[in-house]
Amino acid sequence: MAAARGEFSSRLGFIMAAAGSAVGLGNIWGFPTQAASNGGAAFLLVYLFLAFTLAYPALMAELIIGRHAHANAVSALRLISPNRLLRGLGACTGIVGFIVASLILSFYAIVAGWMIAFCLSAFSTLLGLGNINAWLTEFGFSRNLSFMLLFMCLTIGIISGGVREGIERWSERLMPMLLVSLVLLVIYVLTLDGAMEGLKIYLLPDFERALSPKLIISALGAAFFSLSLGVGTMLIYGSYIKDEENLPVVGSLVTLVDISIAVLAGFLVLPAMYVALHNGVEIFTPAGQLISEDTLIFTVLPELFATMGLAGTVVSFVFFFLMSIAALTSSISMLEVPVAYVIEEHGVQRKAAVWVIGGLIALVSVVILLNFSALFGLVVAFTTRYSQPLLGFMFCIYAGWIWHRDQLLGELRKGNPDVEDTLFWKIWPWYVRVICPVIILAIFAQSLWG
Ligand code: PHE
């Protein structure tokens, strides 16, 4: 029934693709704005801690299960379950995962569309086309709809190419571009007046804030969102890795790239905010709250770029181009989740699957756009803050308790025959069994009482 499965051709190809999935709006938009509104360095510390101690082990659970099953999350969780009840629960987890992945894409495509619009607005500014510029940069249904659709078409176009020709090829092209433009921007912004103020906020922690429950739960959500966990994305990418690859190593490389880019983006966004402040742009309310947390980069940054003349137009173009690329390498990994499922479980052709599912998700985006104030924040919170960590919890339970330990070890041995002697094997199995689930639940419990 299943069509021939794709596979990444090389280790680099996989790392680019998985890092491409992980590095996205979550890193360059989500992480720095949350850090800015949650006490800078305090958030950074909690985020780093959670990313290494919780998100990396959960990522490994998905990669190992995926590679073992060489299948989508629904079939994979079924495969490793010993009885009917657990097979059913596994299938449900996989299905909820792909619904959540699709919902994430439905809001992600809207935000990514804004990025493309702001990127193009650099041209309308240069050409002095005021009307078009206003249309591109102001919140409006026709702009939102057009660019969401454009972004969805790009995503669909790449995913129709399959694993090697689509995901791997484009990630290998786009990721280096992203890194280079990010580094150039950071260097440039750090030379501007006011940047050092932002740097201080980013690097000097306020420990009282670092321990507040609200901060911890948003850092947990940010870490899970940033590593694309819980929804089966990493599981499906894991299923396309060759058997010879040493999974703990490739997993840690992906985690390192993801975290470094988030941290690097913080070096851009926080200093940029204070440069804006220095240039007379309001960024705080009189009460000291950051203005428009979520839309920060669409309000503060363009105003900042506008105060910088021609250089600002170029910087603005590079910044929003970067955001669009980062979004695209992530959105393809979201769409691959439901697409792989219907191809493998229902024998549908890739092209047909991609267009039908992409179309349905675009329809959901339209519904969100039509009820923006009621739905947007709700979908973001439901998917990223609650569903992702809870689904990640389920993957840990499957890897730690339900899957037979010998099979798990056998899977890891394929890429590293001596894995039993490594630190990874000494720590990870009980860690993913006990520590990860307990901490995820504890953070949730605390947030409910809080
Ligand atoms: N990790 C992506 C980001 O940081 C978002 C994502 C979530 C991608 C879930 C795939 C699945 O933007």
**Is 21 touching ligand 1 by the criterion CB < 6 Å?**
yes
**Residue 219 beta carbon below 6 angstroms from any ligand 1 atom:** no
40-54 pLDDT, tens per residue?
888 888 889 888 888
Pocket-testing residue among 110, 151, 225, ligand 1, by greatest number of atoms within 8 A of Cβ: 225
39 Ramachandran zone, left/alpha/beta (phi>0; psi -120 to 50): left
Name the token pair of 36.
């800015």
Domain that holds residue 93: 2-449
Contact yes or no for 231/337 (Cβ under 8 A): yes
Paired with 284 in beta bridges are: 290
pLDDT of residue 341: 94
Q: How far is the CA of 127 from the centre of ligand 1 (A)?
A: 35
Question: Is there an atom of ligand 1 within 6 Å of 215 CB?
Answer: no
DSSP-derived letter for residue 127 is: T
Phi, psi of 421, rounded to the nearest 5 degrees = -90, 0
In this structure, the number of other CB atoms found within 10 A of the CB of residue 394 comes to 22
Is the distance from the beta carbon of residue 115 to the nearest atom of ligand 1 less than 6 Å? no
Please give the distance, rounded to the nearest whole angstrom, from the Cα atom of residue 334 to the centre of ligand 1. 7
Give the closest residue (by CA) to ligand 1 atom 10: 228
Which DSSP letter does residue 4 get?
A: P
pLDDT, residue 178, reads 83
Q: Which residue owns the Cα nearest ligand 1 atom 8?
A: 228
Distance, first Cα to last Cα, the chain: 49
Overall average pLDDT of the 89-93 stretch: 96
Predicted pLDDT of residue 294 = 65
The answer to whether the CB of 339 is under 6 A from ligand 1 is no
Return the percentage of the chain with pLDDT > 70, whole number.
97
In the structure, what pLDDT confidence band is assigned to residue 10 with cuts at 50, 70 and 90?
A: confident
The verdict on the CB of residue 24 being under 6 Å from ligand 1 is yes
- Show Cβ contacts of residue 151 under 8 Å, excluding neighbours closer than 6 positions: 109, 112, 113, 116, 324, 327, 328, 331
**Does the C-beta of 27 come closer than 6 Å to ligand 1?**
yes
pLDDT attached to residue 2:
43
pLDDT computed for residue 3 by the predictor: 45
Query: Which of 6-20, 119-133, 251-265, 367-381 is least confident?
Result: 6-20
Decide: 39 and 209 in contact? Cβ < 8 Å. yes
Confidence category of residue 293, pLDDT binned at 50, 70, 90: low
Given a contact cutoff of 8 angstroms between Cβ atoms, the answer to whether 21 and 237 are in contact is yes
Question: How confident is the prediction for the chain on average, in pLDDT?
Answer: 89
Residue 427: pLDDT band with limits 50, 70, 90: very high
Q: Are 142 and 369 in contact (CB under 8 A)?
A: no
Q: What is the pTM of this model?
A: 0.90
Residue with tokens 């703990």: 248
CATH of the domain at 68: 1.20.1740.10
Distance (angstroms) between ligand 1 centre and the Cα of 105 equals: 9
Single out the residue of 363, 390, 319 nearest to residue 105, CA to CA. Answer: 363
Residue with the smallest CA separation from ligand 1 atom 11 is 228
Residue 232: name the closest of 338, 303, 369 by CA: 338
8 A C-beta contact, residue 448 and residue 66: no
Which tokens in the block code for residue 416? 């590293």
Pairwise CA distance, residues 333 & 86, whole Å = 27
Give the count of domains, the chain.
1
Encoding tokens for residue 7?
């596979």
Tally DSSP H helices, then E strands, for the chain.
24, 0
Comparing 311 with 360, the larger pLDDT belongs to 360
* Residue 1 banded pLDDT, cuts 50, 70, 90: very low
Ligand 1 atom nearest residue 22's Cα: 1
